[in-house]
Amino acid sequence: MMKKIAFLVLAISISSCFSAKYQIKTGQDAYDLRQYAKAIPMFLEEYEEANDRETKAIKSYYLAKSYQRVNDDNNALKWYEKAVQNEYGLEAYRNLALTYKKKELYDRAIKTFELWQSEGGSFQEANREIGICKQAKQWLKGDKSIVVQQVSVNSTSAEYAPVMYDEDYIVFSSDRIGSTGGDIYEWTGNQYSDLYISSKTGSDPILFDDKINTEHNEGVACFNQDFTEIFFTRCFDIEGDDHCKILMSVREGSGWSVPQEIFDMLPNVNYGHPTLVEQDSVLVFSSNNPSGYGEYDLYYSFREDGGTWTIPELMPESLNTQGNEQFPRSDGDTLYFSSDYLPGLGGLDIFKTYLMEGGQWAQPANVGAPINSGADDFSLVIDKEAPSPGQKLLQGGYFSSSRAGTGDDDIYQFLTYELEEKDKPKPVEVVEEEPEAVEKLIYIAVRVVENILADPEDPNSEIIGKEGIDASEIVVTNPAGQETITTNASGRIIIDGDELTSYNFKVAREGYLTNSKSLKTESKENLDGSKTYNLEIALDKIIYNKEIVLDDIFYDLNKYFIREDAKPSLDTLTQLMKDNPDISILLGSHTDCRGRPEFNMELSDRRARAAIDYIASNGISPSRLSFRGFGESKLAVSCICQLCSEEQHQENRRTTFIILAE
């Protein structure tokens, strides 16, 4: 797993560019520079030399984390146990419990989560993880119709993220000996990753193409339907440009063109794991853009006419969580991806969803064992030409896993057959013992964010990102009462929820406009297991005496009454006034340049008054409301009236409000 995590966590050049300037004297020095393979022997020596429990606790804890980073869960488990014995603290309990879970030692994981909770760990997180571990014990029984086997391409190094190439080949990522450049990647102690190609039987893998593979880390690729385009991840090892990007190359005869970035990518943000959907018109990928819900989230971009790609947009909360969503792969309208937060068997689990009528994505479903395990399972791809020896094959393909195999991450083939009659489960008339009931738990995770504007002084400028806001007070109200909870450093809270219950979350922070959102939980009878509702609440900084445009306020020609389609935007403003009882506003109405100026002034005045009357009728004191019609006196777009486009006229016809300074 760690090779692939390195592909998206990376400050690669920290280890290669700065280690020459920074002398590594201790295991902690190497760890801080992400040189985990180098840190391990140094920590081991320092642990043996330590004479006090506190030092041993620190060394054992960071030894465990280092082993975890290089994908050695057996030694990570051993050293987390020592860290707990040496009384390192809460994080040792939590990480030990998660490692037990990853090793499929669910009963030990449950007991350790209970200990973590009793020592002061998060009550909500512990309960959630305990519920997942109980479910995992049932899920581990697996599906007998699925056969999983290693492919012969695996080596003692890492092989992962296979993708189909034509009918007979796979392209995959590996850090095996012979990769381009020959240098050692200090994160893992292996070579840098390259793309390789092999027949599906795994015979004679060779480097894919010298335009694609470089001295940097390359991996996790996808192709368009006719294999004339490749999209892949490259993690640059150049000082000042040390993050992962998605590149594209085009087939040129028997080779490939020089790869190019497909869209502008933000500095210090990682982009990777591309896959194409919707007839190659949409690219889905993973990124740690701060605008997301969690650590790594799924985003998408549209291919426009001319081959350009749109600015990436975040995929819905039904797919993204506060954890990691990575390695998307597509098969028609089905999307496979991995998550370490959605309920699963251990680390990363593979989930599938599909595009429903109406354009919504279905709730993700865990594909289950034997494809998923307690280890990291990821990057599932369907092989439509999979062999079918002797039995009726329903589906076949490949995936990657860090379960015990040949090397680090390995590639596995799966084949799903129709069970023969003798192998199908027999109906049981009398059940002597009821199976252990799995408790269904409901959690609500709230994240408070600030919209980052292209121009911090212009409230109408483009939102270019989001950041979590710490120390925000959230007033949580439900029929049982009310409580106030403060967000953590990343702007989050998580609470236990009850079924069929309405919740309101009102967020306040000094210097920001208070905002609120509500949700209602569903019946537990409708849930397959535990469920977490994810809710994001954005706060805007208070900017006084700046005009803010209200979207979707439309009027009929030369009319001033409030149309039905204008009410939602005015309702939003009304709620803002209710949430912020100390502010007063001036509401303004503007026309375009067409018509007589005096008529436009009168019309805009009536429109502004109608909007204010509507807001007042919904419970806002008139003393907090003032209005003014500006007619065509303050055009947003200056153009010759007879030559203005309809879009320019529309931009000039606007309804605005100003927060008045006291």
Of the two residues 584 and 178, the one the predictor is more confident about is: 584
Q: Max Cα separation, the chain?
A: 89
Does the structure show a pLDDT above 70 at 181?
no
Taking CA atoms, 61 is separated from 1, 6, 26, 194, 352, in Å, by 20, 20, 15, 32, 35
Per-residue exposure over 323-339, b if at least 16 CB sit within 10 Å of its own CB, e if not: bbbbbbbbbeeebbbbb
For residues 470 and 200, give the distance between their C-alpha atoms in angstroms, rounded to a whole number: 50
Q: What percent of the chain has pLDDT over 90?
A: 56
Of 228-232, 289-293, 314-318, which one has max mean pLDDT? 228-232
Q: How confident is the model at residue 190 (pLDDT cuts 50, 70, 90)?
A: low
Per-residue exposure over 251-286, b if at least 16 CB sit within 10 Å of its own CB, e if not: beeeebeebeebeebeeebbbbbbbbbeebebbbbb
Place of tokens 């381009």: 180
- Side by side, the strands of the sheet bearing 481-486 are 481-486, 473-478, 502-508, 515-520
Does the structure show a pLDDT above 90 at 558?
no
Place of tokens 């009168």: 602
For residues 298 and 90, give the distance between their C-alpha atoms in angstroms, rounded to a whole number: 31
Average pLDDT over every residue of 330-339? 94
Does the structure show a pLDDT above 90 at 279?
no
Of the two residues 242 and 389, the one the predictor is more confident about is: 389
Average pLDDT over every residue of 407-429? 72
Q: How confident is the model at residue 19 (pLDDT cuts 50, 70, 90)?
A: very low
Average pLDDT over every residue of 77-92? 93
The alpha carbon of 234 is separated from its chain's Cα centroid by a whole number of angstroms, namely 19
For residues 93 and 70, give the distance between their C-alpha atoms in angstroms, rounded to a whole number: 20
Q: What is the β-pairing status of strands 206-207 and 184-185?
A: unpaired
Q: How confident is the model at residue 202 (pLDDT cuts 50, 70, 90)?
A: confident
Q: What percent of the chain has pLDDT over 70?
A: 90
Tens-digit pLDDT profile for residues 640-653: 998 999 889 888 88
Tens-digit pLDDT profile for residues 293-317: 888 999 999 998 888 999 899 998 8
Q: Which residues pair with 339 in a beta bridge?
A: 325, 349
Tally Cβ neighbours within 10 Å of residue 502: 11
Do residues 121 and 90 touch, judged by C-beta distance below 8 A?
Answer: yes
